[in-house]
């Protein structure tokens, strides 16, 4: 009979921190683990040992050279990419459809350029509506400021008078 090694609470394995372990009535070992991104999972110990990833799937998301995947600033950058690059995005015609591009090739570049003035309650705004997303054309603004800068819809009579 093979001897089982005991896993102590707090042991780290491939960026997983062990929280607890238990054995089912079928003699299957389960562990509760916490990833470095704070996600907690319950998995079979044998499955965890076979994983080739360094931690959970959070690392393998498109841009894996940072630990900010779940932050608001990262989500803002991904929304910029969707607007400019994804033809299936609801409002693509207002961005990528008008040849507006995101000039930040990576989240790291975006973060280095825009983090200095970033606050949790602010949204990103392009100063010149027909220019690309880039450091020289973007700033952080409140939702009220954004609403005041929105291009308003014109009625048919206003369009006829142009």
pLDDT tens per residue across span 59-92: 544 444 556 777 888 889 989 998 998 888 888 9
Residue 97 CB-half CA count within 13 A: 8
**Average pLDDT of every residue of the chain:** 79
| Residue-level pLDDT at 38 | 67
What pLDDT does 53 receive? 47
User: How would you class 60 by CB atoms within 10 Å of its CB: exposed for 0-12, middle for 13-18, buried for 19 or more?
Assistant: exposed
Give the pLDDT confidence score for residue 66 in this predicted structure.
Answer: 57
Residue 122 φ then ψ, to 5°: -95, 155
| Residue 36 confidence (pLDDT) | 66
β-strand pairing of 12-13 with 16-23: antiparallel
pLDDT at res. 63: 43
Q: Are 138 and 127 in contact (CB under 8 A)?
A: yes
Length of the chain: 162
State pLDDT tens for residues 143-162. Answer: 888 888 766 655 666 556 65
Closest to 61 measured CA to CA, from 73, 53, 50: 53
Over residues 37-59, mean pLDDT = 65
């Amino acid at each position: 009979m093979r001897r089982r090694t005991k896993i102590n609470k707090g042991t780290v394995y491939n960026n997983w921190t062990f929280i607890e372990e238990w054995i089912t009535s079928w003699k299957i070992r389960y562990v509760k683990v916490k990833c470095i991104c704070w996600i907690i999972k319950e998995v079979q110990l044998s499955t965890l040992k076979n994983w080739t990833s360094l931690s959970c799937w959070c690392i393998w998301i498109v841009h894996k050279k940072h630990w900010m995947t779940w932050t608001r600033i990262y989500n803002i950058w991904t929304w910029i990419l969707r607007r400019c690059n994804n033809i299936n995005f609801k409002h693509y015609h207002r961005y990528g459809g008008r040849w507006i591009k995101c000039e930040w090739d990576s989240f790291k570049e975006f973060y280095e350029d825009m983090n200095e003035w970033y606050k949790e309650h602010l949204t990103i705004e392009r100063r010149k509506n027909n220019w690309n997303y880039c450091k020289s054309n973007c700033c952080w603004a409140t939702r009220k400021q954004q609403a005041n800068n929105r291009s308003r819809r014109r009625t048919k009579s206003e369009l006829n008078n142009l």
